[in-house]
Amino acid sequence: MKCLVVDDSAITRRILVNSLRMIGFSEIVEACDGKQALELCDATVNVVLTDWNMPGMAGVELVRNLRANPSFAKLPVVLVTSRNFKEDVVEAANAGIDGYIVKPITPEILKAKLDELLHPREKEAE
In this structure, is residue 18 part of a structural domain?
yes
In this structure, is residue 92 part of a structural domain?
yes
Domain count of the fold of the chain:
1
pLDDT of residue 84: 87
Average pLDDT of the segment spanning 118-126: 60
pLDDT > 50? residue 124: no
In this structure, is residue 126 part of a structural domain?
no
In this structure, is residue 53 part of a structural domain?
yes
In this structure, is residue 76 part of a structural domain?
yes
Residue 102 three-state SS = strand
In this structure, is residue 124 part of a structural domain?
no
> For residue 29, what is the domain's CATH number?
3.40.50.2300
In this structure, is residue 109 part of a structural domain?
yes
Q: Are strands 27-31 and 77-81 parallel, antiparallel or unpaired?
A: unpaired
Per residue in 72-121, pLDDT (tens digit) is 999 999 999 998 889 988 999 999 999 999 999 999 999 999 999 998 75
- Looking at residue 23, what DSSP letter applies? T
In this structure, is residue 19 part of a structural domain?
yes
- Looking at residue 55, what DSSP letter applies? S
Domain encompassing residue 33: 2-119
